[in-house]
Amino acid sequence: DTGVSQDPRHKITKRGQNVTFRCDPISEHNRLYWYRQTLGQGPEFLTYFQNEAQLEKSRLLSDRFSAERPKGSFSTLEIQRTEQGDSAMYLCASSLWGPEQYFGPGTRLTVT
Amino acid sequence: AQKVTQAQTEISVVEKEDVTLDCVYETRDTTYYLFWYKQPPSGELVFLIRRNSFDEQNEISGRYSWNFQKSTSSFNFTITASQVVDSAVYFCALSEAMGDYKLSFGAGTTVTVRA
């Protein structure tokens, strides 16, 4: 395993449905980040884990969003009752203590 | 709050020309990190370079070089002798020098290198 992986790569869902994304960080990386990127914009920070602890959440992360990182390994990001405004690329990144973050390929969500 | 501004939306050059990308940032932190990331059409963000705020020495790494000027809060990035494979969206980003290191990104500059 040489990089961050994300699954699925693409997800199309109808408004109101729940979706869940998975991120597998680089092995032994203790920090894991979620970002959201809309078309034509840079990624925006959503939330951050150090091991299994979720240490920070952006105001962008509404009550419909929840993220977990059980056992400090993979992470899941769930969006409940999806809205069209949730359509975006969801990026996961991991790091080992330092500031350099390594990104996965992203999950592109389309809400119809 | 941290803010990163990339005023150039798109740049188009012919292969072998040099490309310079502008980045201006705002932060209240006295120490911080600056980054450049590349996002090719495949979508995956690729880390290129990192700079510490306390080290203003400019460097060259292969065809990449950067000019960090703390006095003007600028962190410009140059690709020398551009190649078609350099075509991508380039993002400038900023993080605190300690703590969670969450990144604040600019809106990106799309670089198109024509053969």
Over residues A38-91, the pLDDT tens digits come to 999 999 999 999 999 999 899 888 899 999 999 889 999 999 999 999 999 999
Tell me, yes or no, if A25 comes closer than 8 A to chain B by beta carbon. Answer: no
In this model, does residue A97 exceed pLDDT 90?
Answer: no
Q: Tokens 């959440």 sit at which residue?
A: A57
What backbone torsions phi and psi does residue B111 show, to the nearest 5 degrees?
-105, 125
What backbone torsions phi and psi does residue B83 show, to the nearest 5 degrees?
-125, 160
Residues of A in contact with B101 (CB under 8 A): 31, 95, 98-99, 101
Compare CB distances from A33 to B4, B102, B107 and report the shortest one's residue: B102
Q: Is B61 exposed, middle or buried (0-12, 13-18, 19+ CB in 10 A)?
A: exposed
Which pLDDT score, from 0 to 100, does residue A61 have? Answer: 86
Tokens representing B79 are: 């690709």
The answer to whether the CB of A12 falls within 8 A of the CB of A112 is yes
Mean pLDDT of chain A: 94
* Cα separations in angstroms, A79 against A44, A58, B55: 16, 15, 41
Q: Nearest residue of B to residue A89 by CA position?
A: B43
Q: Is A77 exposed, middle or buried (0-12, 13-18, 19+ CB in 10 A)?
A: buried
In this model, does residue B54 exceed pLDDT 80?
Answer: yes
Which pLDDT score, from 0 to 100, does residue A25 have? Answer: 96
Tokens representing B20 are: 């310079």
Query: Using 50, 70 and 90 to split pLDDT, how confident is the model at B30?
Result: confident
Which pLDDT score, from 0 to 100, does residue B59 have? Answer: 74
pLDDT digits (tens, 9 = 90+) for B75-114: 999 999 999 999 999 999 999 888 889 999 999 999 999 9
| SS3 state of residue B110 | strand
Mean pLDDT of chain B: 92
Compare CB distances from B105 to A43, A100, A108 and report the shortest one's residue: A43
Query: Using 50, 70 and 90 to split pLDDT, how confident is the model at B39?
Result: very high
> Which residues lie below 8 Å from residue B57, measured CB to CB, with a gap of 6+?
none
The answer to whether the CB of A20 falls within 8 A of the CB of A34 is no
Which pLDDT score, from 0 to 100, does residue A84 have? Answer: 96
> Which residues lie below 8 Å from residue B60, measured CB to CB, with a gap of 6+?
none
Contact A106 B91 (CB under 8 A): no
Which pLDDT score, from 0 to 100, does residue B89 have? Answer: 97
State percent of chain B over pLDDT 90. 75
Q: Tokens 């998975």 sit at which residue?
A: A22
What average pLDDT score do residues A18-42 get? Answer: 95
Q: Tokens 């395993």 sit at which residue?
A: A1
Which pLDDT score, from 0 to 100, does residue A43 have? Answer: 97
Q: What is the rounded CA–CA span in Å between residue A86 and residue A48?
A: 19
Any idea which of A31-35, A59-63, B2-6 has the lowest mean pLDDT?
Answer: A59-63
Residues of B in contact with A45 (CB under 8 A): 102-104
State percent of chain A over pLDDT 90. 84
Distance from CA of A107 to the nearest CA of B (A): 10
Which pLDDT score, from 0 to 100, does residue A26 have? Answer: 94
Query: Using 50, 70 and 90 to split pLDDT, how confident is the model at A9?
Result: very high
State percent of chain B over pLDDT 70. 100
